Amino acid sequence: MRVGSMFAGIGGICLAFKQAGAEIVWANEYDRYACQTYRHNFGSSFLVEGDIRKVNLDKIPNFDILTAGFPCQPFSVMGSQQGFADPRGTMYYEILRVIDTVKPEIVFLENVKNLVEHDNGRTFITIYNTLAERGYVVKYSVQGAHTHANIPQYRDRIFIAAFLDHEKLDRFSFPDEVPLTKTINDIVDRRVVVDDEHYYRPPNRYYNNLNARMTNNNAIYRIDDSGVAKRAWEICPTLKANMGTYPDRVPLVRDAHGIRKLTLRDCLALQGFPKEYDFSDIPRKEAYKQLGNTVCVPVVMRIARRLTVLFEV
C-alpha cells in the first residue's frame, strides 16, 4: 500500500502507516523545523518542503491512500473557531486539489474532535459533501490516546476514512476501545535526574504555588491561563502546540529531585513514538511545538492496520 501525506508535521501519521506495513512515497510539510525532524527520522527522498499551494501537483506520484492531519486550530474549542474563514482552515481545499489530481482509493483525515460540532455541524457537512461529490463514502470516529492506545494522555481526535470502493468501506471498521492499564509513572521515570533547565527553583514566580499544590507524587500538573491549576491530573492533559510558545505550559511532575517539566522524551512517549525516534539539532521550543501538533502514533497505527488489510488479495 502506497501512502502520500499532507501536512506531515514530524511524521506521526506516516510512522503509524509505516508500522502498519505501508510505504510512504510522498509527503509535504511547510514548517522548516518540522521538516528537519521529519528528515532526521525518515530521510529526505520523498519529503517536499514548502507551501502546498505552490507545489506542482503534476509531479506527485500515484498512491493508494492520502493522509492529512490538516490544521486544527480553526476548529478547536481552544482557538477562535473561525473554521474555513481562517486561512489555515482553507487548507482543507488543498486536500481536495490533491484528491482531484491523484484520485487515491482512500482518504484518511485527522483533526480535533470538535470538527463534528463546529459551526453547528456545517463544517463537517461541507467536508462530507465535498468528498461525496468526488465519489467517496465516509466513516468517522473519535478515538483517544487513553481510550484506544493504552497511553495516559487525554487526546481525543476525529478520524475520517473515505473510500472510493464501497466494498472496502463495508469491510472496514474503526478499532474498539482498549483498557487503560498504564499510568504516568509507566511513562515518566521520577527517579532519573534530568537537565536542570527542566526544574522549577526559587525565585521562579510559580515555584511557591507549585510547591504548595503539587503534593501527589503520582499525579501530573500544569499551569494554565489562570496560573497554577489546582487540579492534580491522573492522566496527562492534552499536549498542546503552545508548549513551544509558552514554556510554562509544558505539563509538570514532582520527581525525586524536585518539580520539573516533562522532557521531550517524556512527551514523545506520551505520543506513542518509539525510543529510536529523536529530534535533530533544532530549538527546544520548536520540538515542544511539534509534539503538541502531532498525533498519538498507536491510535493511528491501529486504524492503519485495518486499512492495509483491505489491499490484501
Question: Could you list the active site residues?
Answer: 72
Strand ranges (DSSP E) for 7-105? 23-29, 47-49, 65-68
Round to whole Å and give the CA distance between 192 and 131. 49
Residues 78/82/88/91 CA torsion (nearest 10 deg): 120
Name the pairing type of β-strands 2-6 and 65-68: parallel
Round to whole Å and give the CA distance between 62 and 105. 10
Q: Is the separation of the CB atoms in 35 and 47 below 8 Å?
A: yes
Q: Is the separation of the CB atoms in 274 and 243 below 8 Å?
A: no
Up-side HSE of residue 11: CA atoms within 13 Å toward CB? 29
